[in-house]
Amino acid sequence: MDGQEISTPPPLRPPFLPPLSTPFLFTPPSDTQIIPDIDWVCLLSAQSFVGADHQSKPKPVLETCPLMAGNGGEHGNKDKRKGSRFEKTIRPRFEFQTRSGEDILDDGYRWRKYGQKAVRNSNHPRSYYRCTHHTCNVKKQVQRLAKDSSIVVTTYQGIHNHPCEKLMETLTPLLKQMQFLSSFH
DNA sequence: CGTGTTTGACCAGCGC
DNA sequence: GCGCTGGTCAAACACG
């Protein structure tokens, strides 16, 4: 490497993430210029960061993926592999290509690695991650491109059913400050 | 001690 | 049926 800058992408919230409207009670002061009908989900979605240098256009697809049968997030069922463990279920899949030295993108969620496999036609292994939230079934796969090892391909499967912890941490003080400021009006 | 990672084994799907 | 490959499990281990 000739000292090329590797751009670490900012934390992102692609479209497969849950709507923020549920956990957020966003009540802007009545005399501010905040547009009430802003679609924050779209605003923060992948569409909004298409064009950034380090991001490629995400490829959202719907396809049938093997899914744990009756998985309610409970662990301890050792017979998960047997019988009707897998059933065909429509599960949203989103793929991102990111030019980064880091394999793990900070998307605000917590992930636990549960596997790693060497992949055919690639020098780089594929890593498997699962959201650590006990009620959440979202998974992601991280792999570097065989052609260009500086590009990380992250594939998300599923939709989070809980708020983004880091984003909540970030926005909570902001919201409190807004409420504080609005109390003067 | 709780949480996350590593890694070998296991299983299912698919092509031949 | 067999072998290959991708995906997952779970015990062992590391770390703060």
Determine the average pLDDT of the residues in A137-152: 83
Which nucleotide across the nucleic acid strands is nearest to A115, CA versus C1'? Answer: C8
Query: Residue A167 to residues A9, A88, A106, A151, A162: CA-CA distances in angstroms?
Result: 15, 32, 11, 25, 12
A80-134 per-position pLDDT tens digit: 333 333 444 456 677 777 776 666 666 778 899 999 998 887 888 899 999 888 7
Distance in Å from C5's C1' to A176's CA comes to: 52
Closest nt to A130 (CA→C1')? C8
- Chain C: nucleotides below 7 Å from protein CB are 4-10
Distance, in Å, from the CA atom of A147 to the CA atom of A7, rounded to the nearest integer, reads 19
Pick out the nucleotide with least CA–C1' distance to A155. C7
User: How far does the CA of A163 sit from the C1' of C6, in Å?
Assistant: 30
Question: CB of residue A73 closer than 7 A to nucleic acid strand C?
Answer: no
Per-residue pLDDT of A19-73, as tens digits, reads 333 333 333 333 333 333 333 343 333 333 333 334 444 555 444 444 333 333 3
Q: Which residues on adjacent β-strands are paired with residue A90? A: A64
Beta bridge mates, A125: A118
Residue A61 has φ and ψ, to the nearest 5°, of: -135, 150
